[in-house]
Structure 1
Amino acid sequence: MTKRPSKSITAAFGLANTVPLRPDEQRATEGKESPLPAPIGQRSMLTPGVIQASQKSISDLRQERDRLKALVEQGGTGQDLDPDLIDPSPFRDRLPDDDGQEFQAFKEEFVSEGQKLPILVRVDPENPERYQTAFGHRRTRAAREAGIRVRAVVAELSDRDLAIAQGVENDGRRQRLSWIERARFAADMEAKGLKARDIRAALSVDDPELTRFRAVIGALSMEVVEKIGRAPKAGRPKWVSLGKLVADSPEAGRVVDETLAVAKVSSLSSDERLDSLIKALRLPGTSRRTDHDLDDGKGNRIGTAVFGQGTIKLSLAPKCHDFSEFLKDEMPDLIERYFSQRRAE
């Protein structure tokens, strides 16, 4: 009976242990067992490494990725798949490039020089006849458009393993994820139930950065992010600035829609679209938010009132939560006084 591979990211990289070691590595590993991989079943699953993914550091995983690449460059294993059977990762990260010429050049090189590295996929948990990509989206797309098969390593990966493999691979690419792509990736992982520690591992970020990702994605809809694009030159400050401007302005939704709807904006690069939005939201009159601390008349703070253009938001201390009921009862009289005052003016 064939042994099933463990559901570990290490399984995806276990074959990398067959790459010849450097002399210093050989001395460090003398006398230690180094299990060789073996294809398993029709899908050529890979054997697991000795250490489970949950015990491995991101540095370890990067080294395993590099070993996998080195092995394949030396003629490593894999199997040819129909790219039409391969779907994207369930965790979205990359947004479309501003210029399709770069991908066209990549595709031409892919076809003319052949596939140098395999993609990493898993069997779709919902459909055993299809696959999902951990990394290699561009290679899969190039093969699909060229009408050729794509060489792939198939491994059993949990959602966590797939996300970490995807994050590690992205971190090692020449064209890394832009800041907003990383925020989008984090939001997708969180929406699908991954724990914060796994999201941090996949993206190599700390808690403050994860909090900033949440704040910006929370202020902007995913639709707006996709309309702006990946903005490769824009780092955290611009996106955080945009998030705050949107959160602080009651008119933000209208301004964003109107700015992005202008025909000439679509011809701009994603970085220029981002700059256009920030500029539009900073125009005088766009944001009229004022914050007021509330106290009980004796100097004791009981909450905050945020007044915007057409909006009011109250945040009250726990001991004053019943004030909302009081305000609701008083609202008819307040509205009557308001209109009486306006009629008298």
Structure 2
Amino acid sequence: MAMGKNKTGIMAAITAAAEAPKDSGSERAHKSLPKGTIGSVRAGLGGIQEIDTSLVLAWGPKDRLDIELTAVNSGEPHGSIQELSASIAESGQQVPVLLRPSKERDGYFEVIYGQRRILACRHLGKPVRALIRTLGDTDALMAKGLENAGRAELSYYERVRFAQAILEQGYSRAEACQALAISKNTLSQLERINRLVPSAVGEAIGAAPDAGRPKWMTLATAFEKAQLTEKHVLDVLSKSTDLDSDVRLDFALQEIGKRGKQERSTEARSPVPGVHIKSGKSGLSVTVKRAGANKKFANWLDQNLDRLIQDSFERFQSENREG
């Protein structure tokens, strides 16, 4: 299905509220729901409705790092939710969310998009203004992706994680491309970053809304080339939890240069021609060239190296005991 045609169809389904007849209460929510259920009736009413936020359930691939819709969100809400709450308290909820009747629980609804608005209204103790539509999983996914793309709300790394979540839930690569309005090549780039940047590191950094592809690709390449380790980066990030996510990403990137300086400071020596020893904080390496006059020695060493190391280790133990 072409993206333009699909977008037209989905948006028509989303905006059909104004034309929906008021007496269409018999419309079915899903094939799994019998006629006359609460979800079916509310879906058939049309227009924007006010829904109790306690009746809204999470649905679909997760598209955000810093918030999560659960039955109960305890404690103070995330900073962005607090800001949105203040805006809604002052000016009202300007844009409705999109819900669909729950397949599993009659009277409940699954959020297709608008998690932040739902959480903000929950924080304020007021109902959320919503459109209720009977979309299947694929159309719901497209609507979720189109809304995110249209409002430009997801950061680059959230798009990385959203793409992966879509694929992990069994959707095809073509459907993932449609949902995110991206090309196959762009999807491959998102997958590469997700594969190379450890999930724990990405979550410790956060959404990093001001960071685009170049920074995340640099971080991914550093992990690929073993210029960074997950443990090291997590140790660094654990000391910067009070900073915003863009600063935390910059801190992680700065460790690449520090690692390089440490490697350049490694001590190198050559006790005999053709043999090079490198000694650093992380390890000791010996290189013997198999070329020219050194070839015979290299071959001999290859045959006797195990014994030489064993003899050296026994000597080390003996001297250590005597000391």
Please state if 1:270 is matched with 2:270.
Answer: no
Residues 91 and 15 of structure 1: is their aligned pair in 2 closer, same or farther, counting only changes over 3 Å? closer
Alignment of 1:288-299 (within 5 A): none
Contact kept, 8 Å, 1:200 with 1:210, in 2: the verdict is: yes
1:159 Cα offset (Å): 2.8
Residue 162 (structure 1) aligned to one of 130, 140, 154? 140
CA contact (8 A) 2:57 2:108 kept: yes
Q: CA deviation at 1:15?
A: 6.5
Shift of 1:252: 0.7
Please give the residue correspondences for 1:39-118 in structure 2 after superposition, counting only pairs within 5 Å. Answer: 39=25, 40=27, 41=36, 42-43=38-39, 44-45=42-43, 77-96=47-66, 102-118=80-96
2:199 maps to 1:222: yes
List aligned pairs for 1:71-220, cutoff 5 A. 77-96=47-66, 102-173=80-151, 175-220=152-197
Amino acid across the alignment from 1:276: F
| Mapped contact 1:91–1:189 kept (Cα < 8 A) | yes
- Counterpart of 2:15, as a letter, is A
Do 1:245 and 1:282's aligned partners in 2 also have CA atoms closer than 8 Å?
A: no
Amino acid at match of 2:217: V
Distance (Å, rounded) in 2 between the aligned partners of 1:266 and 1:150: 32
Q: Alpha carbons of 1:129 and 1:246: their partners in 2 closer, same or farther (altered >3 Å)?
A: farther
| TM-score of the two chains, using structure 1 as the length reference | 0.62
For residues 335 and 133 of structure 1, do their structure 2 counterparts lie closer, same or farther at Cα, with a shift above 3 Å needed?
A: farther
- Aligned mates of 1:102, 1:188 — CA distance in 2: 23
1:82–1:250 CA distance, 2 compared to 1 (3 A)? same
By how many angstroms is 1:9 displaced?
9.7
Unaligned residue ranges in structure 2 (runs of 5+): 1-6, 28-35, 68-76, 264-281, 284-302, 317-323
SS at match of 1:284: helix
Q: Which amino acid aligns with 2:92?
A: G
Between the aligned partners of 2:104 and 2:256, the Cα distance in structure 1 is 43
Which structure 1 segments of 5+ residues have no match? Answer: 1-7, 20-34, 48-75, 289-308, 311-332
SS in 2 for 1:211: helix
- 1:278 maps to a residue whose letter is L
SS at match of 2:95: coil
Flag the structure with larger Rg. 2
Deviations 1:45-104 (A, max 9, x none): 259xxxxxxxxxxxxxxxxxxxxxxxxxxxx7133221012123331112339x955543
TM-score normalized by structure 2?
0.66
Q: Percent identity?
A: 28
Distance 1:152 1:276, change over 3 A: same
Please report how far the alpha carbon of residue 161 of structure 1 lies from its aligned counterpart in structure 2 after TM superposition: 1.9
1:339 aligns with 2:309: yes
Q: Give the equivalent residue in structure 2 for 1:55.
A: none
- Taking the aligned partners of 2:136 and 2:306, their CA distance within structure 1 comes to 60
Over 3 Å counting, the alpha-carbon distance change for 1:335 and 1:171 in structure 2 is farther
2:304 and 2:130 mapped to 1: Cα distance? Answer: 68
* Aligned 8 A contact 2:17 2:48 in 1: no
* 1:16 alignment partner AA: T
Given that 1:251 and 1:287 are in contact with CA atoms closer than 8 Å, whether structure 2 keeps it comes out as no
Letter in 2 for 1:277: A
Aligned length: 249
Preserved contact between residue 12 and residue 154 of structure 1 (Cα < 8 Å):
no
Instruction: Tell me how far 1:223 sits from its aligned partner.
Output: 2.6
Shift in Å, 1:145 = 1.0
Read off the aligned partner of 2:111 and give its amino acid letter. Answer: T
Contact 1:281 1:287 in 2 (8 A): no
Does structure 2 retain, via aligned residues, the 8 Å contact 1:12–1:120?
no
TM-superposed CA distance for 1:340, in Å, is: 4.1
Task: Tell me the secondary structure at the aligned position of residue 65 of structure 2.
Answer: coil
Deviates more, 1:180-189 or 1:127-136: 127-136
| Cα displacement (A) at 1:192 | 0.6
